[in-house]
């Protein structure tokens, strides 16, 4: 296995190879880049001799973002005979493996036998887990606040006293130097869901910051002492995705994607009823989701379906904004804003980002302060360009503002429903009094 570094100066020569080349565009400050690294190393080992893997630090490349057309990191680009064949931005490990297999197939090349039979599925790499047990069989038991009412009171006090700037509910609940799970006696996912509810609403409407903080306080106040809150976050996310007015199957019009999402929903309902769904079945659904790009679906749709095709236990609080995104881009809910208009706005905003990079250059520097200063300048330019665009195309931006109002209203509705579901489940988790 060999993974080599490349530079902008040597790039053309490095990708001109007898075997396909996978280039990892990364940056030192990028957390997802670091998380993906061991999986890229494993991929290089699995394809040893068949695939050349290169890494390029995009921050070290002069004008590298624009030169290589990189919009975000990590970006993985696949080259054959010196020419780019395909690329992925921020892929899951499943997507990376499946797409490398697909690209090999496009070129008429064989993948390693072990991978060709398995597709890189987790079920083959972890045979002991191939036949999953129902979630209830292996779930941990929790005891909220360690059964101590004073611990809950201290959490609430920290939440009330938390500074408005950088308000972080789960960290405040835990207290300085303490982990959420140890301090609260509940899964970290529950804290992440509280964080996400606060950040989404206050970020979309700064005027709602106080009411959103009050919502968090009411939710924490609803947490019973000494209860097992283990299943609460998973149950809330399941309800949002598959048993609420926002359920996910309604957002996929393409026949192939809709059929697959229906199967994903059926698997989730089966698992929620207590039946076992094999790891290999989830892996097969995820693989099919990745390959939707071959059936008239764009990468965004494929990635959304892939994210839904994981057991609820693997869902994170990030599924809340993912479902909000599906709902707010559903043309049947707001037909006054069309896909072509959205594409025009996307293209304008992409062009403005390119203008910002042309004026400021790519970020080069060390430390959070330098990055914050660069981002502040970029935000100032973005506001300037946005004012210019609105003056140039008032009708388009008037319709865009209409959609933004719809988006905000829908976002707040979904968050209100999730908060209500969460509160009801917290209250219902109270230990029975004997």
**Of 72, 98, 128, which residue constitutes the final position of a domain?**
128
Domain span at residue 113?
A: 3-128
In a domain, 419, yes or no: no
**Of 277, 311, 345, which residue constitutes the final position of a domain?**
311
140 — pLDDT class (breaks 50, 70, 90): confident
357 — pLDDT class (breaks 50, 70, 90): confident
Ranking 6-10, 127-131, 203-207, 256-260 by mean pLDDT, the lowest is: 127-131
Q: Are residues 239 and 280 in the same domain?
A: yes
Can you tell me the distance from the alpha carbon of 19 to that of 239, in angstroms, rounded to the nearest whole number?
47
For residue 33, give both structure tokens: 């880049």
| Tokens 């979630």 belong to residue | 135
If we measure between CA atoms, which residue out of 286, 258, 282 comes closest to residue 96?
Answer: 286
Task: Enter the DSSP assignment of 250.
Answer: G
Per-residue exposure over 299-326, b if at least 16 CB sit within 10 Å of its own CB, e if not: bebbbbbbbbbbbbeebbbebbebbbeb
Concerning whether 155 is annotated as a catalytic residue, the answer is: no
Coil/strand/helix, residue 120: coil
In a domain, 355, yes or no: no
| φ, ψ (nearest 5 deg) of residue 247 | -55, 150
What mean pLDDT is predicted for residues 93-117? 86
Q: Are residues 48 and 97 in the same domain?
A: yes
Can you tell me the distance from the alpha carbon of 220 to that of 156, in angstroms, rounded to the nearest whole number?
7
Q: Are residues 148 and 238 in the same domain?
A: no
Please give the full DSSP string across 367-378, using - where no structure is assigned: SHHHHHHHHHHH
Please give the full DSSP string across 52-71, using - where no structure is assigned: EEEEEEGGGSTTHHHHHT--
pLDDT at site 128: 39
Coil/strand/helix, residue 381: helix
| Tokens 């494993």 belong to residue | 42
Q: Are residues 115 and 96 in the same domain?
A: yes
**Of 311, 337, 361, which residue constitutes the final position of a domain?**
311
Q: Are residues 238 and 278 in the same domain?
A: yes
* CB-CB contact of 91 with 22 (8 Å): no
Q: How far is the CA of 248 from the CAs of 238, 295, 300, in angstroms? A: 11, 19, 15
* CB-CB contact of 159 with 220 (8 Å): yes
Average pLDDT, the chain: 92
Considering 33, 155, 297, 415, which one is annotated as catalytic?
Answer: 33
What mean pLDDT is predicted for residues 264-287? 98
Task: Enter the DSSP assignment of 134.
Answer: P
Q: Are residues 212 and 276 in the same domain?
A: no
CATH of the domain at 66: 3.40.30.10
- pLDDT tens for 4-53 read 999 999 999 999 999 999 999 999 989 999 999 999 999 999 999 999 99
Domain count of the fold of the chain: 3
Concerning whether 33 is annotated as a catalytic residue, the answer is: yes
């Amino acid at each position: 296995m060999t993974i080599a570094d490349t530079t902008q100066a040597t790039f053309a020569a490095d990708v001109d190879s007898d075997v396909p080349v996978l280039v990892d565009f990364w940056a030192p400050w990028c957390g997802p880049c670091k998380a993906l690294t061991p999986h890229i190393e494993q991929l290089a080992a699995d394809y040893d001799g068949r695939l050349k893997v290169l890494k390029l630090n995009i921050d070290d490349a002069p004008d590298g973002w624009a030169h290589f057309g990189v919009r975000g990191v990590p970006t993985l680009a696949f080259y054959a005979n010196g020419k780019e064949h395909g690329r992925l931005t921020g892929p899951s490990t499943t997507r990376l493996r499946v797409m490398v297999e697909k690209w090999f197939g496009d070129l008429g090349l064989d993948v390693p036998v072990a991978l060709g039979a398995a597709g890189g599925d987790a079920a083959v790499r972890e045979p002991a887990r191939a036949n999953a047990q129902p979630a209830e069989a292996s779930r941990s038991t929790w005891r909220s606040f360690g059964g101590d009412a004073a611990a809950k009171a201290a959490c609430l006090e920290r939440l009330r006293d938390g500074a408005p700037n950088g308000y972080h509910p789960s960290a405040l609940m835990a207290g300085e130097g303490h982990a959420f799970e140890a301090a609260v006696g509940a899964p970290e996912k529950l804290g992440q869901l509280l964080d996400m509810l606060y950040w989404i609403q206050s970020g979309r409407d700064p005027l709602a910051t106080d009411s959103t903080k009050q919502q968090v306080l009411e939710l924490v106040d609803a947490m019973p002492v000494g209860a097992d809150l283990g299943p609460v976050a998973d149950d809330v996310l399941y309800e949002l995705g598959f048993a609420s007015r926002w359920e996910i199957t309604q957002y996929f019009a393409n026949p192939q994607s809709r059929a697959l999402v229906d199967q994903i929903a059926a698997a989730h309902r089966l698992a929620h009823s207590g039946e076992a769904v094999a790891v290999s079945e989830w892996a097969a659904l995820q693989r099919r989701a990745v390959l939707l790009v071959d059936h008239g679906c764009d990468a965004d749709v494929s990635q959304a379906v892939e994210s839904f095709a994981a057991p609820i236990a693997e869902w994170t609080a990030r599924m809340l904004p993912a479902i909000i995104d599906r709902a707010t881009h559903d043309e049947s809910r707001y037909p006054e804003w069309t896909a072509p208009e959205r594409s025009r706005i996307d293209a304008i905003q992409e062009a403005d980002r390119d203008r910002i990079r042309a004026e400021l250059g790519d970020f080069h520097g060390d430390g959070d302060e330098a990055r914050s200063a660069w981002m502040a300048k970029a935000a100032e330019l973005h506001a300037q360009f946005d004012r210019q665009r609105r003056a140039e195309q008032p009708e388009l931006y008037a319709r865009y503002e209409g959609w933004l109002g719809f988006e905000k209203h829908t976002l707040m509705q979904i968050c209100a429903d999730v908060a209500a579901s969460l509160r009801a489940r917290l209250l219902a988790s109270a230990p029975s009094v004997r």
